[in-house]
Structure 1
């Protein structure tokens, strides 16, 4: 799982914040999150599982207690995710400098894919009425409507 997906969830991010202070038992983590955000124990357990699978935390069994703590290199995982974005950003620098973004948008406007409206212009409908053969508006004539809508309350055959 990508580090941004791991930290993208509020509960997991809060678990990481609590674990950044120091190691905690699963019961303590569940109590803390329940007090802060009314998160249930099973939800905390699932999020701890995600943190464990993603390599953010380590669990140590001490009798009946399970102690969770952040791995020493958990920030390296986040940094690697940032490096991926930085690499993509750097690769796109030449096209941004050449202004490829505005050129592509101008081409989309010319082709009609994008329509620019002035503030205050009416918003066009999401789709036109159904048009049949020869451009007739079939929905106004009732074509394509179900006969079930007339009996929607189910009382048509009751005596």
Structure 2
């Protein structure tokens, strides 16, 4: 399982956040996650088992409690992946400034865009925009002008 797959699931991400503060017993982890996410105990156990199977957490069986903590290798892997992503981000190509616009293929018309209401001679404008104009004797307000 990739480190991003672990962190993509909100329940597992919260478990990792809790374990980042130190060792915790399984009952505390279950109580916190069940309260915050409204999931059952089996769902929490499922996520803990996934973390355990992929060696992201270490377990200390100290009867009657089972203590969980993050594996140091997992933290190192997470740090390495984030640094790799940051390196890629710094070497990205494309537009760096958000104010740069994309190149246009076509020059916009001086008469405006159809449907945007920017052309004053557009016979297909809405009646609301024609409210101030005098009716020119056309059969309907939307018919094209007669020559």
Query: What per-residue deviation string (whole Å, max 9, x for no partner) do you get for residues 64-121 of structure 1?
Result: 42110112343211122224434544665xx548xxxxxxx98xx99xxxxxxx8x78
Quote the Cα distance in structure 1 between the aligned partners of 2:56 and 2:73.
8
- Helix, strand or coil for the counterpart of 1:30? helix
Counterpart for residue 12 of structure 2: 12
Gaps of 5+ in 2: 96-101, 106-112, 117-147
User: How do 1:1-150 residues align onto structure 2 when only pairs under 5 Å count?
Assistant: 1-86=1-86, 88-89=88-89, 96=94
TM-score, normalising length from structure 1?
Answer: 0.52
What is the SS of the residue equivalent to 1:66? strand
C-alpha deviation, 1:40, in angstroms = 1.0
Q: CA RMSD in A?
A: 3.2
Q: Over residues 120-139 of structure 1, what are the superposed CA-to-partner deviations in whole Å (9 max), with x where a residue is unaligned?
A: 78xxxxxxxxxxxxxxxxxx
TM-fit CA distance, 1:50:
1.8
* Number of aligned residue pairs: 107
Q: Tell me the alpha carbon deviations over residues 19-68 of structure 1, each in whole angstroms, 9 at most, x when there is no partner.
A: 12221111221111112221211111111112223332101111242110
Q: Indicate the larger mover: 56-65 or 7-16.
A: 56-65
TM-score, length basis structure 2: 0.56
Structure with greater Cα Rg: 2
Deviation at 1:15, TM superposition (A): 0.7
SS at match of 1:22: coil
Please give the alpha-carbon distance, in whole angstroms, between the structure 2 residues aligned to 1:91 and 1:18.
33
Q: Which consecutive residues of structure 1, in runs of 5 or more, have no partner in the other structure?
A: 98-104, 111-117, 122-159
Distance in 2, matches of 1:57 and 1:68, equals 7
Higher helix residue share:
1
